[in-house]
Amino acid sequence: MFTQSDLQPALTLAHCQALDVQDPLRPLRDAFDMPSGVIYLDGNSLGALPKTTAARVAEVVTQEWGQGLIRSWNSANWFTLPQRLGDKIARLIGADAGEVVATDSTSINLYKVLSSALSIAAQDAPLRKQVLSERSNFPTDLYMAQALCQERGFELRLIDADALAGALNDQVAVLMLTHVNYRTGAMHDMAAVTAAAHAAGVLTVWDLAHSAGAVPVALKADDADFAIGCGYKYLNGGPGAPAFVWVHPRHSERFWQPLAGWWGHATPFEFTPDYRPAPGITRYLCGTQPMLSLAALECGLDVFASAQAMGGMAALRAKSLALTDLFIALVEQRCSGHGLGLATPREHTQRGSQVCLTRSEGAYAMVQALIARGVIGDFRAGDGHEQPDILRFGFTPLYLGFEEVWNAVEQLRQVLDTQEWKLPAFTQKQAVT
């Protein structure tokens, strides 16, 4: 594993190349179909394509669907695929087998678990009428919470991250947080936050969209209540890949989830007119599951099985920190004087697997100029308060190397030094930023 001392001399290209030679995870890069001439720093938005995915999806289409037809629900074990993939995800997030299902989208799964949490709160603490979250939480989470609060007679209360400790009072029913902030890369201490919430009588709902597959997560050990997460970012399941949902076993059978579909029925093929929820996490399924998308997600998850023999999440986390440390150091050394700030925490325990640079002017155009040079990151607008616009870069240790970090910063330096970002072609906003 890499340590901070490994990076002390690593501010030359030669040292970065040496780190790649020493990297025990380097063989994992060969599991991905990476385009030539591209440095991909956006795996926190959409993961790269595993080499096995295209053939596996083609097999599902031509053989399991084309030849097996409806028989494949049994012969190819389609019916249990959400649970089988859930077990693979469980190993990455500190859950046990049988506690996770891969299904639906992050937003839909959040609706399910937040609704269940509010039902528990209404029964156990009916005077608590607030859902607490960060103002900088990912918007879809806030939108879902806002809709549910309106529907259920609760209030959505938004705070800044540094006000969290003092906001957990006897009015709060549920604390809803994203473990790693999508805009800044700042990471909560899940164990400490969950303990503080429980001490105040508050349930916790965690969004792991920017955590699963990138940083170690310990849901059971940290005593979390509910969690959902994304399949198309660090899990490399493909655009729009199914998400996942976890519910602590102490809560999983207390209430129906609100989307009571036939796949969550205790005996779906009895086709009874009354709904009886399945035991455990299976009740968090809803309608018929997308086999092509689940097959693609499984290819992404199987890369983590290979990583397990190389040290697993601990090794991936060590490399992630080494990559992000290097990027921060190189930007500060080689791009100084250009008005760049750092939104991402320097402290390892507070950092996810991304680095977010701030700039008061031209951030979007700078990202577009980098993309034109083959360095793919993305842009996030300022939060409307004190934080300026952000150049966001994700560091996926499964396929990113240290020399690529050096080259990415060199391209950024050239964009800044030449003021290439001021060209009109880079200022035109596209639909997806």
Helix axes 402-418, 363-372, angle to 10 degrees: 120
> Which positions ≥6 away from 308 have C-beta within 8 Å?
91
Residue 8 pLDDT grade (very low, low, confident, very high; cuts 50, 70, 90): low
- Cα–Cα distance between 133 and 360 in angstroms, integer? 27
pLDDT digits (tens, 9 = 90+) for 202-215: 999 999 999 999 99
Burial track 155-183 (b if 16+ CB lie within 10 A, e otherwise): ebbbeeeeebeebbeebbbbbbbbbbbbb
Question: Tokens for 136?
Answer: 């900088």
Tens of pLDDT along 289-341? 999 999 999 999 999 999 999 999 999 999 999 999 999 999 999 999 999 99
Distances (CA, A) of 145 to 140, 197, 230: 8, 18, 18
CA distance 165 to 410: 41
- Read off the pLDDT band of 1 (50, 70, 90): very low
Report the alpha-carbon distance of residue 144 to residue 159 in Å, rounded: 17
SS3 track for the chain: CCCHHHHCCCCCHHHHHHHHHHCCCHHHHHHECCCCCCEECCCCCCCCCECCHHHHHHHHHHHHHCCCHHHHHHHCCCCCHHHHHHHHHHHHHCCCCCCEEECCCHHHHHHHHHHHHHHHHHHHCCCCCEEEEECCCCHHHHHHHHHHHHHHCCEEEEECHHHHHHHCCCCEEEEEEECECCCCCEECCHHHHHHHHHHCCCEEEEECCCCCCCCCCCCCCCCCCEEEECCCCCCCCCCCCCCEEEECCCCCCCCCCCCCCHHHECCHHHCCCCCCECCHHHHHCCCCCCHHHHHHHHHHHHHHHHHHCCCHHHHHHHHHHHHHHHHHHHHHHHCCCCCCEECCCCCHHHECCEEEEEECCCHHHHHHHHHHCCEECEEECCCCCCCCEEEEEECCCCCCCHHHHHHHHHHHHHHHHHCHHHCHHHCCCCCCC
What's the pTM? 0.95
**Which residues are catalytic, by number?**
138, 207, 232-233, 392
Q: How far apart are CA 371 and CA 364, in angstroms?
A: 11
* pLDDT, tens only, 367-399: 999 999 999 999 998 866 667 899 999 999 999
Work out the percent of the chain whose per-residue pLDDT is above 70. Answer: 97
135 Cβ contact partners less than 8 Å away, ≥ 6 residues apart: 158, 159, 160, 383, 385
Whether residue 5 has pLDDT greater than 60: no
> 396-420 burial, b if ≥16 CB within 10 A, otherwise e?
bbbbbbbbbbbbbbbbbbebbeeeb
Q: What is the mean pLDDT of the chain?
A: 95
N-terminal to C-terminal alpha carbon distance within the chain = 34
